[in-house]
């Protein structure tokens, strides 16, 4: 793999993001257009500068948006017939994979300016189209026997607690941290703090994961305007650079590999290693200022600390106990509140996480701002599958 093919060749000059949550006042098309218009305004360009677009949406008919099965949905909402549009779907890693494909096309010289839109509507869903029903119907047969996402991640939490000194209180600390951060972000779905006691006493979903250990289903959209790095200063006064994007898939997920570890994600480890190698990073904590990671469940964030090299295997719980990943810690993780509190409209999440990195690096994050002067670099981690596909992105200031 040519690790220099993408490095610093693509800039992000504008981003937009809707509030995440239950958006019953707007359609799939309306929320997508809102994010795109915000990104265009942020970049200071008109839609006519867009030469191609990528749409990240996992399952459009969750919200009855059947037209979004084809990429022409984006051309339609922009009223740009003839615009090349590619639809990307890759489990919960859909958003970052859409951005990855767009960045590769710009780096290859095919286009100068492109659009990435992550969009999902999950709350206006008839029972026949529910995510659970579709996964049971079309997913791996073992899902039909009850190994849902909470069930699987509950098993992983149990295993981590058995092999190391991780406790339910450690899982709860992740939820408390992310609610604290989300309460300070104006676009987050849950804007309220919770106590450790509240998390620990919440209804049980899948032992040891309670209600506050699980991410919500949400509506929302996020958009990015990408361009050639050498063109960025001509188009915008403020921008960030895509330094590296690593991606990995593993076969069998958590269902077909008897030897598969339940205390980590191989896809995360491989994607992270690719990104670090491309950026010349040997020690992530020394080179990166903060991260947005895929915390679909509280145990996932703890596993991410370990898989991404923020701490040693088995030390993820200590990382959260010591407050290192808090907003005021030496390595803030999920300053936005993460999927847990910002929300998780599947196809939008990876682009939304990039939006958070973008706002942070440009020091426009308001009450959730973290220090970025040390390295001027942030990391995005987007996981799906569950755990069979991962995309890791590194972004930095020029």
Q: Which sequence positions are flagged as catalytic?
A: 92, 344
Nearest to 215 by CA among 393, 306, 334, 355: 334
Is cis: bond before 357, omega within 30 of 0? no
Q: Quick one: tokens of 56?
A: 């990240």
Entry field: residues in the chain = 398
The SS3 assignment for 398 reads coil
Distance of CA 389 to the CA centre of its chain: 12
* CB neighbour list of residue 327: distance below 8 Å, 6 or more residues apart: 177, 180, 181, 184, 335, 368, 370
Nearest to 220 by CA among 3, 9, 357, 38: 38
| Nearest-angstrom CA–CA distance, 334 and 297 | 13
Could you tell me where the DSSP H helices lie in 50-93?
A: 72-78
3-class SS of residue 388:
coil
Q: Are 260 and 254 in contact (CB under 8 A)?
A: yes
Q: Please state, in angstroms and rounded to a whole number, the distance separating the CA atoms of residues 83 and 75.
A: 6
């Amino acid at each position: 793999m040519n690790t220099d093919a993408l490095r610093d060749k693509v800039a992000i000059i504008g981003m937009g993001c809707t509030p995440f949550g239950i958006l019953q006042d707007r359609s799939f098309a309306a929320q997508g257009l809102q994010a795109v218009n915000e990104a265009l305004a942020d970049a200071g360009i008109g839609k006519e500068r867009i030469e191609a677009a990528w749409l990240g949406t996992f399952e459009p008919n969750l919200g009855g948006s059947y037209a979004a099965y084809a990429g022409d949905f984006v051309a339609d909402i922009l009223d740009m017939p003839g615009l090349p549009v590619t639809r990307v779907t890759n489990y919960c890693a859909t958003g970052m994979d859409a951005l990855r494909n767009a960045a590769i096309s710009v780096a290859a010289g095919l286009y100068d300016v492109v659009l990435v839109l992550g969009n999902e509507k999950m709350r206006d869903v008839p029972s026949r189209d529910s995510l659970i029903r579709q996964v049971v119907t079309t997913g791996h047969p073992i899902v039909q026997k009850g190994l849902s996402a909470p069930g699987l991640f509950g098993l992983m939490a149990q295993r981590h607690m058995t092999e190391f000194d991780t406790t339910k209180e450690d899982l709860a600390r992740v939820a408390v941290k992310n609610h604290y951060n989300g309460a300070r972000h104006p676009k987050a779905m849950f804007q309220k703090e919770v106590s450790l006691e509240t998390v620990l006493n919440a209804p049980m979903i899948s032992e040891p994961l309670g209600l506050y250990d699980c991410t919500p289903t949400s509506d929302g959209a996020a958009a990015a305007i990408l361009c050639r790095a050498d063109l960025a200063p001509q188009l915008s006064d403020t921008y960030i650079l895509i330094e590296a994007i690593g991606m990995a898939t593993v076969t069998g997920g958590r269902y077909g590999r008897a030897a598969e570890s339940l205390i980590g994600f191989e896809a995360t480890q491989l994607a992270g290693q690719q990104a670090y190698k491309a950026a010349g990073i040997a020690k992530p904590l020394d080179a990166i200022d903060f991260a947005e990671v895929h915390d679909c469940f509280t145990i996932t964030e703890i596993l991410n600390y370990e898989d991404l090299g923020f701490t040693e295997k088995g030390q993820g719980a200590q990382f959260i106990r010591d407050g290192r990943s808090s907003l005021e810690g030496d390595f803030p993780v999920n300053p936005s509140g993460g999927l847990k509190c910002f929300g998780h409209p599947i196809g939008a999440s990876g682009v939304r996480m990039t939006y958070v990195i973008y706002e942070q690096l440009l020091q426009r994050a308001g009450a959730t701002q973290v220090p970025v002067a040390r390295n001027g670099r942030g990391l995005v981690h987007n996981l799906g599958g569950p755990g069979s596909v991962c995309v890791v992105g590194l972004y930095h200031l020029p």
